[in-house]
Structure 1
Amino acid sequence: MIGLFMAKVQLAALAFTITALIFLLYSLSVPSVPQSPPPAGAPPAVSGGIKSLRNFSSYEELVRFVSLVAEAEVAYGYVPFAVAPAVAWTAVPVAAQVAGDSARRVFSTTNVQVAGVDELDIVKTDGRIIAVASGERVYLIDASARRLISAIKPNGTAEGLFLWGGVLAVVTVRYPIGGGAVASTALEIYDISDPHAPAARGAVVYSGTLVGARMINGTVYLVLSTPARPEGVPRVNGAPIRPERVYLVDPLPTSFTTVAAVDLNSGKMGEVSLLISQATWIYMSATRLYVASSGSPYAEALAKALGILADVAPGEVGASIKSELQRGNLTGALKIARSYIASLPAAEAEEVLRRVSTALSAYVFNETTRIHVFSVRGVDVAYQGYVDLQGRVLDQFSLEEYKGYLIVATTASNYTASLVEPKPILPPIPTTDVGINVLECTGSQCSERRVVIRPPPSPPYWPPVFDVVITPKGESLNNVFVVSPAELRVVGRLGGLAKGERIYAARLIGDLFFLVTFRQVDPLYAVDVSNPEKPAVLGFLKIPGYSEYLHPLGGGMLLGVGVEDGSLKVSLFDASNPRDIKEVAYVKMEGSRSPALFDHHAFTIRPDKRLVMIPVTAGHYGIPAGIAAISFSEGLKLLYLMEHWGAVRSLYVNNTVFTIATDSVKMFDIDTFKELAEIPLR
């Protein structure tokens, strides 16, 4: 056994040495090419720890390099993501922006992080029409007439939409069948100036899966990922990206991360791609795009779990999983594993999962984050460099720009992993009326009541899942970093915050960076970043539960959407004095949850009516039962629960609230909450 162990160590060391030699060889042979000049007003390009930013002189050279890296990765034992062959369509000029009559209407927009930077979502409106992405269709609804007027069938599954004047941009994705293939992401452009007759105006197709998307003044920015392998070389409309626009950043990259820009009015495009570790989150301001990358402990744990399963599964199944892993096709291996587990009797499946989970628990996984900085102006995108930070970024709200600096919050910890047990095919589905107990408190005055919800029309189908769960090991620590993107260095740091807890939510409001950490109670921290070199905690509040999303209300008031004792809780905080933060009111819905806990696009606010709307589940069934309308005019109060099973979004146009599910749209009066109409999406 000792001899086998030493042989593995020697093999790993040899693989690492080969990788280092490969990188050194290409560092000497690949010509160093100056970066594209930054646009006017953008910060100058700085190395940021990269001694020589290098690109490739030919497509053949690029393929040769990633082929060698792929061989070294297999020998070293690391399995990157693999996704699948691009499908190409011909691009044609797009329609010009068309002005509508939306200026005379009051309507909600997508809840975004940065004003002026739109985010991809499944629902968009200009006050005139409502566009809803649902699977392989996009439906257009006349907001005034309250009726479905047309439907679009894009070439793939609609991931989300952008709306710019009379132009609708649909982001679609296709996952071709077959291991080792690469997924494709398309930006399809439609002229909807006449929404009764939408007309296709072109499409741009990129290889890769979507990491994130933004839009500024009609220019769409897509961040895409493909594996660092020959089949993963980024393609645009079927043609490989120009090799001089691909930069080698990490010594042993696991993916191509491509930033693509498309002007919806002119059809102009621009791309730049980096060979780096897996991209996780993006953040965008008016002049910069930031991409966070890390070696995901989830991905590493899943790959390890699949490798363990391959050793305990029957010969043919185990060999198939190993074959997919050796090819770097993590999704293909996972598909085989899930099919195998689903085919077993319950007792046998539990025993296999127990053995795999026990072996998996012996491994420790950890993570650091690298922030990549791009300057942007229209379709001109220039890579500036990177900065490395300790820990993991929670989500996009953990990154915020402040007076030319980037504020980043991370949680640093080690992780262990275990397997998720097989789920029953059908969860408990209500067949009779169910209710939500509502507790409303303002100050010391509390009242309790019960809201009754009718059962859903039909139960959903939930297949069993083979997956891993990662959990922190030991005491975690939280950090706030202040980064100069112009100099690509950390200028200030607040470390060791909330030992043993992790960050659940973050939000920058003025000079204050609010953080929510959690283990047993919910500390809401107010961090002063007015002096970037010396961020400091001004005050904090500890209450039961935790907040997952924070939303500023103005006047020092802050709304938190979170969980307490397993139930949905909406809290109103008075942070006007950051040294003495108070929770002044809350609404708690027993047994309920909300998509707004993990997707801020599900949060809708009507400031003039002091009204917030979020989808909520009923009981423990996990299905949104409707949209909760919560008033924050005097404390917090649940005004009404607009019943709509499956509703995951809400928006308003004038005095009509639209609740959106994948199969229907309902309309309610915003003052009385009377149901006005329902539109099936067919």
Structure 2
Amino acid sequence: MFKPLVLLALAFTALALLLWISSQAPPQTAPPVSTPPPQFPVIKLATLELLNPLEPALPMAFPVALYSTSAAVATADMKTAYAANVQVAGVDEEDYVKFDGERLYVAVNGKVYVVDKNLRLLETLDCPSPHCYIFAWGGRVLAIGEVGGNTLLYLYDSSRKVAVYNFTGYPIAARMHNGEVYIAAASPPRVVINGREVNEAPLLSLDFHPNVLIIAGVDLRSPNFNATAYVAGPAAKIYMRENRLYVVTSLGIPDLLYKAVKAVWEDLPGEVRERLDLTNPLTLYVTLREALKNNTSVVEVLNRANITTATRVYIFEGEGPYLRLKAAAEVPGRVLDQFAIEEIDGGFLLATTVAPVKFRVSPLWIPAAPPEIIISQDGVPVAVIRRAITPLSPSIWTSEGEPVNAVYIFDENGNLKGSLTGLAPGERIYAARLVKNVLYLVTFRQVDPLFAIDISNPERPRVLGYLKIPGFSEYLHPVGEGRLLGVGAYQSGVKISLFDASNPAAPREVSNITISNAYTPVFYDHHAFSYNPEAELAFIPYTPYLGGLRILFIEVGSKLRVRAERDLPADRAFFDKDAVYLVGGNRVWKLSYSLEVVGEAVLK
């Protein structure tokens, strides 16, 4: 008699299991929020207004639902167009110019111009904004722009627009691997993705100025789209290898306060502990500010926690447009740029500059009393209205002490394997580059120390050697076995240095070229630098202090030698087999390898 009951129970169990499995599968539509890992609480985005109630909301035109068509991708041409200089081979990065070996794609003045190697215009596509980034793969072009505080995407198959997507926020960075594009964007707390409002999101990290991180994916092969919202700190930097996306954000004041309060909890006065809500950094920050109205000395206790600047890295794994948050890790310090993030042997490393943090409290602000409102009748007052004064909670800010630098190495699940701390006290990282098992770091205060760090044993990274020279390098580029090219500042100009690192224990500068009274966009944009290893030729644009843009070609042999200097306003270079293509704004030049101009086109 129990058999039917057993079968019924088994059926319900199977149904529950199927429902659970389906809930774990990637959604087939474009839901703006997915299930977060259990260690990250989900909060209502409206509550972020409690962080800074005096900060006005940004004026925004909220996006509406747009369209997408499913068009088969032609398989005859799966060429990938790349930026002039990328960090990871096979992973393209956001930029306004791309080259696939046959065609140049140039996004300028609200258009995408497709040009062949003879500088003939093949196609003109619309950009979503006057300034946009592009990706090109398999005959498809994705144009990414920002309009009225929203990120807007146009996807083209040849010259036909096949999809349009948008979401609130402005794009920070993007990557593409094998036709899959992932975009990181920063949005105010009110988030709309393709016309659908997002009301809650996982709380990853928090800052005084509320920020929502949008991670969007576009599969150029389908085309499918997905986007997910997370509450995260500002200044996100990203790194990608194959289908793994690393997103790095600095911890803001609410996160640092949360760490400090937990560290000194038992030392806090009982009446203060009763008022604090440790549910998450947001609730703690709001209740702590209220508690500080009556006892600002609490900050002295918090400063005993010896908190430092800190960073979190989030590791996503992607399949098509869908990204799953796989792991997270936290390190002391801040990451300079994407080159301070690298994947190694199934794990990853971060190079950071760490500074001690002290909390400060502004005086309690009591607004001036508003004027009385007097209502009179025939000149005789009949009512006097006095509005109450509401003191505002004290503001909490931080000051930072002398920095020091560190390297942290993790396994693929975000578990710390090894670290190297205490590097170059009083200095900060200006450049980083991983070459095989050696990480090169440039720090600076008065001279330029180039550190060579052995990471072949991830559990025990060690300094092999270092070199101190005047100036400092903002960008490092490998130029052959055991050699590095550094581009940086020197006095009031630019210095290009060739380093011999064949013996990492004793790196040395073997040659340099300086340009006085100038700077180069390579300082802040590595896409402006190009290098052809076969020709041993480097391209570096520079700007004299009086204005304009000029270019320099440098031969990288046993010594550095100026091959050519031209008065051409180009900031991108692509080396083909028998020609060099330069792009600057809406102008394109074709050069022979004798570096003479053999063709020019104006895109309009």
Assess same fold via TM > 0.5. Answer: yes
Aligned residue for 1:597? 523
**SS of the counterpart of 1:601?**
helix
Cα deviations across residues 385-408 of structure 1 (Å, max 9, x unaligned)?
422221111000011111122111
Identity, in percent, stands at: 35
Asked whether the 8 Å contact 2:105–2:114 carries over to 1, the reply is yes
Aligned residue for 1:433? none
Which amino acid is the alignment partner of residue 104 of structure 2?
A: I
Aligned residue for 1:410? 352
390 and 489 in structure 1: CA distance in 2 versus 1, 3 angstrom threshold? same
Aligned residue for 1:476? 403
Could you tell me how far apart the structure 1 residues matched to 2:497 and 2:308 are?
Answer: 33
Could you tell me how far apart the structure 2 residues matched to 1:80 and 1:509 are?
Answer: 46
Match 1:641 to one of 565, 572, 578: 565
Which amino acid is the alignment partner of residue 236 of structure 1?
A: I
Asked whether the 8 Å contact 1:221–1:262 carries over to 2, the reply is yes
Match 1:87 to one of 63, 66, 78: 63
536 and 677 in structure 1: CA distance in 2 versus 1, 3 angstrom threshold? same
Asked whether the 8 Å contact 1:560–1:570 carries over to 2, the reply is yes
Asked whether the 8 Å contact 1:593–1:622 carries over to 2, the reply is no
Asked whether the 8 Å contact 2:206–2:252 carries over to 1, the reply is no
Cα deviations across residues 650-671 of structure 1 (Å, max 9, x unaligned)?
1133322222111322222122
- Are residue 294 (structure 1) and residue 236 (structure 2) matched? no
Distance apart, 1:560 and its partner CA: 1.0
Aligned residue for 2:602? 680
242 and 260 in structure 1: CA distance in 2 versus 1, 3 angstrom threshold? farther
Aligned residue for 1:464? none
Give 5+ residue unaligned stretches, structure 1.
Answer: 1-31, 40-46, 56-61, 176-182, 193-197, 298-364, 417-470
Asked whether the 8 Å contact 2:578–2:593 carries over to 1, the reply is yes
Distance apart, 1:613 and its partner CA: 0.7
Distance apart, 1:260 and its partner CA: 1.3
Cα deviations across residues 129-162 of structure 1 (Å, max 9, x unaligned)?
2111113122222212x23343222232342111
Aligned residue for 1:21? none
208 and 558 in structure 1: CA distance in 2 versus 1, 3 angstrom threshold? same
Asked whether the 8 Å contact 1:290–1:372 carries over to 2, the reply is yes
Which amino acid is the alignment partner of residue 123 of structure 2?
A: S
**SS of the counterpart of 2:236?**
strand
Aligned residue for 1:68? 47
Aligned residue for 1:274? 230
Asked whether the 8 Å contact 2:79–2:139 carries over to 1, the reply is no
Cα deviations across residues 373-395 of structure 1 (Å, max 9, x unaligned)?
21223323111242222111100
Distance apart, 1:621 and its partner CA: 2.4
114 and 472 in structure 1: CA distance in 2 versus 1, 3 angstrom threshold? farther
Distance apart, 1:550 and its partner CA: 0.8
Say what the alpha-carbon RMSD is for the aligned residues. Answer: 3.3
Aligned residue for 2:121? 148
Could you tell me how far apart the structure 2 residues matched to 1:80 and 1:563 are?
Answer: 39
Which amino acid is the alignment partner of residue 631 of structure 1?
A: E
Residue correspondence of structure 1 range 134-173 to structure 2 within 5 A: 134-144=108-118, 146-173=119-146
Which amino acid is the alignment partner of residue 204 of structure 2?
A: V
Could you tell me how far apart the structure 2 residues matched to 1:636 and 1:415 are?
Answer: 43
606 and 523 in structure 1: CA distance in 2 versus 1, 3 angstrom threshold? same
Residue correspondence of structure 1 range 233-632 to structure 2 within 5 A: 233=191, 235-240=192-197, 246-250=201-205, 254-295=210-251, 367-413=309-355, 474-486=401-413, 488-618=414-544, 620-624=545-549, 626-632=550-556
Which amino acid is the alignment partner of residue 484 of structure 1?
A: D
**SS of the counterpart of 1:609?**
coil
Could you tell me how far apart the structure 2 residues matched to 1:655 and 1:296 are?
Answer: 50
Distance apart, 1:291 and its partner CA: 1.0
Match 1:53 to one of 40, 46, 64: 40
Aligned residue for 2:156? 190
294 and 148 in structure 1: CA distance in 2 versus 1, 3 angstrom threshold? same
Cα deviations across residues 536-589 of structure 1 (Å, max 9, x unaligned)?
101001111111111112211111111111211111111111101111111111
Could you tell me how far apart the structure 1 residues matched to 2:478 and 2:578 are?
Answer: 23
Asked whether the 8 Å contact 1:258–1:274 carries over to 2, the reply is yes
Which amino acid is the alignment partner of residue 546 of structure 2?
A: Y
Cα deviations across residues 31-89 of structure 1 (Å, max 9, x unaligned)?
x99994799xxxxxxx99x864344xxxxxx6xx222331x2135x7x59957333343
| 274-283 or 111-120: bigger deviation | 274-283
Asked whether the 8 Å contact 2:205–2:252 carries over to 1, the reply is no
| 601-610 or 82-91: bigger deviation | 82-91
Asked whether the 8 Å contact 2:251–2:312 carries over to 1, the reply is no
614 and 607 in structure 1: CA distance in 2 versus 1, 3 angstrom threshold? same
Could you tell me how far apart the structure 2 residues matched to 1:551 and 1:138 are?
Answer: 29
584 and 80 in structure 1: CA distance in 2 versus 1, 3 angstrom threshold? farther
126 and 69 in structure 1: CA distance in 2 versus 1, 3 angstrom threshold? closer
Distance apart, 1:118 and its partner CA: 1.0
Could you tell me how far apart the structure 2 residues matched to 1:35 and 1:521 are?
Answer: 56
Which amino acid is the alignment partner of residue 87 of structure 2?
A: Q
Which amino acid is the alignment partner of residue 84 of structure 1?
A: M
**SS of the counterpart of 2:519?**
coil
Could you tell me how far apart the structure 2 residues matched to 1:252 and 1:543 are?
Answer: 38
Considering Cα pairs closer than 8 Å and 6+ residues apart, tell me whether 1 or 2 has the greater RCO: 1
100 and 653 in structure 1: CA distance in 2 versus 1, 3 angstrom threshold? farther
**SS of the counterpart of 1:499?**
coil
Which amino acid is the alignment partner of residue 506 of structure 2?
A: D
Could you tell me how far apart the structure 1 residues matched to 2:23 and 2:355 are?
Answer: 36
Match 2:185 to one of 208, 224, 235: 224
Could you tell me how far apart the structure 1 residues matched to 2:107 and 2:45 are?
Answer: 36
108 and 124 in structure 1: CA distance in 2 versus 1, 3 angstrom threshold? closer
563 and 116 in structure 1: CA distance in 2 versus 1, 3 angstrom threshold? same
| 129-138 or 273-282: bigger deviation | 273-282
Could you tell me how far apart the structure 2 residues matched to 1:286 and 1:155 are?
Answer: 28
Asked whether the 8 Å contact 1:479–1:497 carries over to 2, the reply is yes
| TM-score, length basis structure 1 | 0.66
Larger radius of gyration: 2
Could you tell me how far apart the structure 1 residues matched to 2:518 and 2:318 are?
Answer: 42
Match 2:170 to one of 209, 218, 227: 209
Cα deviations across residues 263-292 of structure 1 (Å, max 9, x unaligned)?
101112233321222242111121321111
Could you tell me how far apart the structure 2 residues matched to 1:656 and 1:633 are?
Answer: 20
Which amino acid is the alignment partner of residue 551 of structure 1?
A: H
Which amino acid is the alignment partner of residue 85 of structure 1?
A: A
